[in-house]
Amino acid sequence: MIPSSGLAIEVGAGAPRDVDVIGVPVTATGPVPRQLGLSRARLTELGFEAKPGQTLAVASPSGPSLVAVGLGAPADIGAGVLRSAAAALARAAGTRASLATSLADVEARGLTPGAAGQAVAEGFVLGTYRFSSFKSEAPKPGLSRVVLTAAAGDRAAIATGAARGVAVGEAVALARDLANTPPDHLNAADLAERAIAIAAEPHLRHVRLVQHLDVQLALGGMLGVNRGSTAPPRMIKLTYTPRRPAGTVALVGKGVMYDSGGISLKPSDGMHVLMKMDMTGAAVVLATMSLLPVLRPKVKVIGYLCCTDNMPSGSALKLGDVLTIRNGKTVEIHNTDAEGRLVLADGLSLAVEDEVDAIVDIATLTGAVLGALGKKLAGVFGNEQAWVDQVLAAAERSDERAWQLPLVDDYRKLLDSNVADMKNVGGPYGGAILAGLFLREFVGDVPWAHLDIAGVMDSDADDGIFTKGSTGYGVRLFAELLTNYTPPR
């Protein structure tokens, strides 16, 4: 049930004679590797400037084909550059089965050999990712073997890092697969079954799963959003418990399996089609939980997947209705398309009840964050700067870019209701901030960070490690956050 890339990554002294392609890293300045047989001037004539991720096939009279891959300026080479270069090489290999490269042995700023091996392996796995489950034509075979060449003293560390990189890449692929799946093939109950199957994998013996019908837990937000759907909701809880944990972190994922907007119906445009991806937060949490036994962080992790459809019908949630969230707070509905915060409120309430030490929620929550930050940055909010700083540091290390936005206390009054504790929306401006202020009402004094990934949930085209469709944003960030966790207080 956990997708396999089918990619075998080896580490060796040199390129085997039987490989199909040799990838040759080239920086924008400095000497050009002799094996290319081309000068810098000739490369420039051919249009190759060694920009990061740029590739050029070079004719070879015998033996493996050669592909030059650009790294940009030597001083700028880091994990992100290596990851993107590996993805570019994977695409350049096309349908050829095997490739060798010294990419993991390139001198990079601040990177250990293990970190370089991980970045390159992630790049190859993500660069070969394709979602073809619903294509009538079988996908063409592609890259299945990569040999990373390196100096003798670095090979063991590179191999260890590469193994981790493959595991992380395959977890990202799981999140992408789930988010790319059409909504008629994946509802809340289906995702619960997937979670059960994943938790039953032999290597996941330390991950425990519990699922509940929401009526049993008095999850008023989820039950309210689910009123218009014919598919039942699911609150899915998975727990990873290491020996002697250093603390407990909750990951809360929005799992709106399809968001029509409810009675506040969305316009029928391209964004509406993408609303199958409104469960990306839950997909990322599930994929992260599947990865933890490999990463073996020293922190206990509880994942909450808050899953339901948001559909219009005669029984659907209405404007003016009042819901009671799990923690007892009441919410008057002023827009049924602001439903993600309602299901997250229940998940956050459960996390607080479980007495966790810190919480991160992840959600495709607002179009406002897309307007503010575009499609390259997630928005981050929080109530404890030390915890937000850990999230931002993990974003930096993983190259899953994020930007902190403010929780403006003066705006809280915009959520006041005449008939309930609060409304679910607060006006036409500052929507991402207002959503963050709403969620803050359900975390008490627990250190909490909120990732709004509405802008970064998908890619419009093949670009670096991304393929058109879901990005799986958040898995790599969470991997870094949890393996480097320190108590925020």
Q: What is the pLDDT of residues 5-17, one digit of tens each?
A: 789 999 999 999 9
Decide the pairing of beta strands 358-363 and 207-212: unpaired
pLDDT tens profile 214-232:
788 899 999 999 999 999 9
**pLDDT for res 2:** 63
Give the burial class of 367: count Cβ atoms within 10 A of its Cβ; 0-12 exposed, 13-18 middle, 19 or more buried: middle
Instruction: Name all domains of the chain by residue range, CATH numbers in brackets.
Output: 8-172 (3.40.220.10), 183-483 (3.40.630.10)
Measured CA distances, 48 to 38, 58, 73, 219, 462 (Å): 11, 11, 14, 57, 20
Q: Is-catalytic flag, 254?
A: no
Tokens of 332: 């008057």
pLDDT tens profile 69-105:
999 999 999 999 999 999 999 999 999 999 999 999 9
**pLDDT for res 70:** 97
% of the chain with per-residue pLDDT over 70? 99
pLDDT tens profile 115-170:
999 999 999 999 999 998 888 888 888 899 999 999 999 999 999 999 999 999 99
Under the phi-then-psi rule, with left for phi > 0, alpha for psi from -120 to 50, and beta for the rest, what region is 345?
Answer: alpha
Residue 1 confidence (pLDDT) above 60: no
**pLDDT for res 202:** 77
**pLDDT for res 395:** 98
Within a 10 A sphere around the Cβ of 205, how many other Cβ atoms?
A: 10
Across the range 39-68, mean pLDDT stands at 93
Among residues 40, 91, 130, 266, the one annotated as catalytic is 266
**Confidence band for 188, pLDDT divided at 50, 70 and 90:** very high
Among residues 83, 276, 341, 440, the one annotated as catalytic is 341
Mean pLDDT, all residues of the chain:
95
Tokens of 329: 């707070």
Across the range 50-79, mean pLDDT stands at 93
User: Range with the lowest mean pLDDT among 144-158, 260-274, 329-343, 470-484?
Assistant: 260-274
Q: Residue with structure tokens 């519990």?
A: 210
Q: Is-catalytic flag, 341?
A: yes
User: Range with the lowest mean pLDDT among 53-62, 70-79, 200-209, 323-332?
Assistant: 200-209
**pLDDT for res 142:** 85
Would you give the distance in Å from CA 192 to the centre of its chain? 19
**pLDDT for res 462:** 92
Decide the pairing of beta strands 330-332 and 322-324: antiparallel
Across the range 341-362, mean pLDDT stands at 98
DSSP string computed for 363-431? E---HHHHHHHTTS-EEEEES-HHHHHHHHHHHHHHT--EEE----GGGGGGG--SSSSEES---SS-H
Buried b (16+ CB within 10 A) or exposed e, 338-350: bbbbbbbbbbbbb
Q: For the chain, count helices (H), then strands (E).
A: 14, 19
Q: How far apart are CA 132 and CA 130, in angstroms?
A: 6
Question: Is 104 within 8 Å of 113 (Cβ atoms)?
Answer: yes
What is the arrangement of strands in the sheet containing 234-240, beginning at the earlier edge strand? 207-212, 234-240, 300-310, 248-259, 358-363, 448-452, 378-382, 402-404
Question: Is 453 within 8 Å of 281 (Cβ atoms)?
Answer: yes
% of the chain with per-residue pLDDT over 90? 88
